[in-house]
Chains A and B, each alone.
Chain A
């Protein structure tokens, strides 16, 4: 699975942009218009954007892509190989593999996006607070973060999910999705906390912050008006890549039987259900696995394109 602790090295393991630095033009230019200028010349950005739109459409309106019902099962067709009638064949229960792969996009993307959002809020907030107020608050937040980082990702998720929602139990659809999202965020926030913390520490001593403080701005105003917008770039890059790795992580947990479970339709569950039929019906497993990998690839590519454009070191 994609290990988010390793993804932080992705940010460091930067690729140089293929395009040369943007020519200086007259007029005011901000970080974001510069970024856009670089982004729109990059092929990888457009490819990942198109893929992203396809996946988002699939998540929002699955019926655009298939007219078949993902729940409709014909046991007689169990594990039938791909044919003109069903391009991806039928799964163990005789359901259309393609339809289930299409409908699976929604769960995976919701979990990936919401878990990332929760991570950003939790990690960003604690990071900004730790950096801004420093002293004991910084020490406490940093130590607690280290404790959670001390739990290797898969292990931590297994321990929490294995006790909250053991493999044999059958929690409701919304409950289990919420639990998985919380677990992913709980184990992922320290990395984002560190990113936000170091960004804010760097920005804290800049003149514009000093000026704002001299003008009498309170901590809230300084944090939200000045520090946060200027720390946004590294957070944005990390979270784009994180969406991808969380989608992979969700599938991994579902595969282990402690993440999402039927009747939720998800790529991870489809892969888990057919892992033991790999000899007789590989298609029932590899098509959802392909969708999953493409979706992760989309977010990883997008994150890399954005990082290349945002990283001032590479300009």
Chain B
């Protein structure tokens, strides 16, 4: 287990380097002037561009720039944006809100998704099963922003149950509907995954043995069936925590939530690459670490899996 963890960590190194390099290269090196439009209506004076290029190290060779970026990242120096506001403080304001939103979304996915999946898997072909199959099909075909605008319009504008946009504090009750929207797609996946897993395990020998032993239905389902069926579901939920954070860009945009997604989104609109690069890098790191953690947890949850 320890050796496997170390090997996985080592494997992660080239991926992290590669991904961060792609981000850096894309943002700074591709055609297009990163300082265009920074001086209002008129083109920027050469002196300003030269000074800026020097300040952000763009006059150095590509690999030196990338080395500096890595050094800053490791020492926790995220730099300042074009307005000289520290990126770390921007992140500090936005992080808690996005984490709250993503956690709520995962809870919704787990509770509603697993609940629906278990109910439909246990009674295959029954009424609930059909309802779940059809409703997940529709959820899968609704792009997240369609669900978002629909709920915002229906609940916020027409019925007045929620306020259409979220305030700066982003309290838990305010985030319920955005979290549901963020969770909607994965909720459908979770339900389907749970259902398949339950259906597969219902046919397995250990369930038949448990029933033959004369255990109560409740015990068979709760202790034997559920525990085994939920392993792939938990893996899925775990890997999705990382991607939920970046998936929040759209949800945060629709409901005007001032989280990481909103921060990244505004930075891209303003072409403030000094914010884009560190924020995107952090999101990628979270995503990769979440995947690693899930991989390692897999062995803990399912002792049948042995790492050589």
Contacts and interface: CB of A to CB of B under 8 A. Distances in A.
Give the contact-size bracket for chain B: 35 or more
B134 to A, nearest CB: 10
A248 interface: yes
B250 A1 contact: yes
Contacts of B137: 297, 300-301, 304
Contacts of B142: 293, 296
A279 B156 CA distance: 10
B18 A150 contact: yes
B196 A143 contact: no
A248 B145 CA distance: 10
A160 B26 contact: yes
Chain A interface, DSSP helix/strand/loop, else mixed: helix
Interface of A: 1-3, 5-6, 9-10, 12-16, 143-144, 146-148, 150-155, 158-160, 162-164, 166-169, 244, 248, 251-252, 255-258, 271, 275, 278-279, 282, 285-286, 289, 292-294, 296-297, 300-301, 304
11 contacts: A2-B185, A143-B15, A147-B22, A151-B284, A154-B247, A155-B264, A158-B264, A159-B23, A163-B273, A251-B145, A282-B157
Give 8 closest A-B pairs by Cβ, nearest first: A297-B141, A147-B18, A13-B192, A152-B246, A248-B143, A150-B19, A155-B246, A296-B141
Interface string B191-211: 011011001000000000000
Contact of B145 (A15, A252, A296): A252
B87 to A, nearest CB: 16
A120 to B, nearest CB: 21
A5 B149 contact: no
A257 B269 contact: yes
A13 B58 CA distance: 48
Interface string B231-246: 0100010001011011
B283 interface: yes
Contacts of A150: 15-16, 18-19, 284, 287-288
Contacts, number: 164
B189 A10 contact: yes
Nearest to A145: B15
Contact of A155 (B149, B199, B254, B284): B284
Interface string B214-257: 00000000000000000010001000101101110110011000
Nearest to B247: A154
A237 B305 CA distance: 29
Contacts of B186: 6
B283 A278 contact: no
B15 A282 contact: no
Interface in B8-31: 14-16, 18-19, 22-23, 26-27, 30-31
Contacts of B249: 154-155, 158, 256
A61 B195 CA distance: 41
